Amino acid sequence: MNKKRSLHLLVIIALFSVVGAWLPGVPAQAQTLRLGLSVSTQSNSFYRSLAQGVADEGKALGAEVTVLSADDQLEKQISDVEDLIAADIDVLLINAVQGEAVGVIEDAISMGIPVITLQRAVASSQVTSHLGTDNVLIGKLAAEWLVDKLDGQGKVVVLEGIPGAASSEDRKAGSTPVFAAAPGIEIVAQQTAEYDRATALSVMENILQATPDIDAVFCYNDEMAMGVLAALEAEGRDDVLITGIDALPDAVEAVQQGKLAMTIRIPVYDMGRLGARYAMEVAAGNMVPVQSVIPAVFVTPENVDAAAEPAPADTELLIGVSVSTQSNSFYRSLAEGAAAESVALGYKANVLSADDQLEKQLSDVEDLIAADIDVLLINPTQGEAVGVIEDAARAGIPVITMQRAVASSQVTSHLGTDNVLIGKLAAEWLVDKLDGQGKVVVLEGIPGAASSEDRKAGSTPVFAAAPGIEIVAQQTAEYDRATALSVMENILQATPDIDAVFCYNDEMAMGVLAALEAEGRDDVLITGIDALPDAVEAVQQGKLAMTIRIPVYDMGRWAARFGAWTALGEITVPVRNVIPIEFITP
């Protein structure tokens, strides 16, 4: 191969360069931008690496970067952020000590400073973007790994992180049910060690005095795992499994030596670098994902020597793009964004449309693989496209899925809206608009398509929980305007008494509008999703009640970036990205 924010933020991405530090896909500024980073601590090498990533990348992009460490003290972090605000920073990046930092974060936002949170999320819809691992999932998978390693039997000590820190609470939420569901696992001690090595050493010494009969220690990070290891070694114990998270250098070395059973590698330096890239985009007024999930890899004695970061590749790329259809302007815009960004980055793009046919998409992807593409960007027609997607992955081709996800762990990254949430919010909007009373028709998308199934999963419980809402008809219209027109004509013949039509996309909403207008009906609320140009015009004219804007062109552009960055081995990209949305009403 050639290697070579509510619902609050919607803008257009623009490519630009930095004088003396050009980076494809990251904008240039007319004046020096000031990025402020408040990190929870720098005594922990994990967070020190996070801060270094932000600082290095920010400076490489021509920004002025100020890094302040809170030393794990909430009060100091609040003071630090206040100082950064006073210093007139353009963007605040923050790795919160605790969730209670939300107050000062929202103070910054109220002063017009965009905020990007790193690794530890806070409960605020005003944050522009969050980058971090899925700590609930990490907790779950790590606990499952340990239960399996113990063959379902054993006495386990659990050391938690800083109380109130999102990462600690999430890892607890993920791991606790796993241990509770394993009848042979007994949790003999569970307490905090503050994510700190010395604290963990002391805590473990006390636990060993009180409860020496243990089989494993499950630690929420490597600093604590290494403190536990020191306590056990001081007692001459080598019969206890210890697990950690973070893959700190000495923890990886301990895994190599068989002293730690497992740790989890999180590319924290690259998380910081991505945070800086996002900050530069936000400062330029451009769209970034509202959430990006950073990947994690288990490091065990069996794979520890193979866990290094990939080596950079050459600089010429052929990017293959397979889109479900281009007859729908939503997906046409997605393809255009991916292709335009590929070319803007200096690479070639080959774009193929499946015309909403699974068989054609399978054939298209096979053709792209045969054409020796370096990256595959795909908007699957259906989930059944997973087979050919995995064929590409097995051929060493990074795969980026767009808007429609597939059930495969081999996909490098997925970008899309949270369609379950969209379905939920759109249904809540309609129920509220109807004052909780009305007869509703629901038109679904393509059966089996992830976006349709997810919007159904989000909206159905909302309608079911509204006693005054009656679903008088619910069927598919294939995401297609002509099909929706025909379906709606039939529904109106059978069930003319309706108050609203809830459509999973704008193509169907416009078909419904045509059917209703043909009957002289203007008494029915119609909602759609996608903010197609004629749908937005219909909202402006009062013919559609609402649509939801998804920045699909920019989604395609980010997909091209992530694909190219992965193929070049330049930076670790997020495994999952949630794209922002905006409700459009009269």
Give kind and range of the element (H or E) at residue 137: helix 135-149
Which residues are CB-contacts of 188 (< 8 A; sequence separation ≥ 6)?
155, 156, 157, 211, 213, 214
pLDDT at 277: 98
CA 329 from chain centre, in angstroms, equals 25
pLDDT at 25: 56
pLDDT at 308: 46
Total-model pTM: 0.81
Beta-strand ranges (E) seen in 286-437 are 291-293, 297-299, 318-323, 348-353, 375-378, 399-402, 413-416
Question: What are the pLDDT digits (tens) for 481-529?
Answer: 999 999 999 999 999 999 999 999 999 999 999 999 999 999 999 999 9
pLDDT in tens for each of the 586 residues of the chain? 443 323 232 222 222 222 223 344 555 555 899 999 999 999 988 999 999 999 999 999 999 999 999 999 999 999 999 999 999 999 999 999 988 999 999 999 999 999 999 999 998 989 999 999 999 999 999 999 999 999 999 999 999 999 988 889 999 999 999 999 999 999 999 999 999 999 999 999 999 999 999 999 999 999 999 999 999 999 999 999 999 999 999 999 999 999 999 999 999 999 999 999 999 999 999 999 999 999 999 999 998 886 444 444 457 899 999 999 999 889 999 999 999 999 999 999 999 999 999 999 999 999 999 999 999 999 999 889 999 999 999 999 999 999 999 999 899 999 999 999 999 999 999 999 999 999 999 999 999 888 899 999 999 999 999 999 999 999 999 999 999 999 999 999 999 999 999 999 999 999 999 999 999 999 999 999 999 999 999 999 999 999 999 999 999 999 999 999 999 999 999 999 999 999 999 9
Which residues are CB-contacts of 562 (< 8 A; sequence separation ≥ 6)?
400, 412, 413, 415, 573, 574, 577
Question: What are the pLDDT digits (tens) for 357-391?
Answer: 999 999 999 999 999 999 999 999 988 999 999 99
What domains does the chain contain, in order, with CATH numbers?
Answer: 34-131+268-290 (3.40.50.2300), 135-265 (3.40.50.2300), 318-416 (3.40.50.2300), 419-549 (3.40.50.2300)
Amino acid at 390: E
Three-state DSSP at 213 gives: coil
DSSP annotation of 384: G
What is the distance in angstroms between the CA of the first residue and the CA of the last residue of the chain? 51
pLDDT at 26: 56
Q: How far apart are CA 479 and CA 579, in angstroms?
A: 20
pLDDT at 31: 81
> For residue 190, what are the β-bridge partners?
158
pLDDT at 165: 87
Question: What are the pLDDT digits (tens) for 329-347?
Answer: 899 999 999 999 999 999 9
The H-assigned helical ranges of 34-101 are 45-60, 74-86
Look at the block and give the residue holding tokens 């769209």.
287
CA 353 from chain centre, in angstroms, equals 26
Amino acid at 148: D
pLDDT at 448: 87
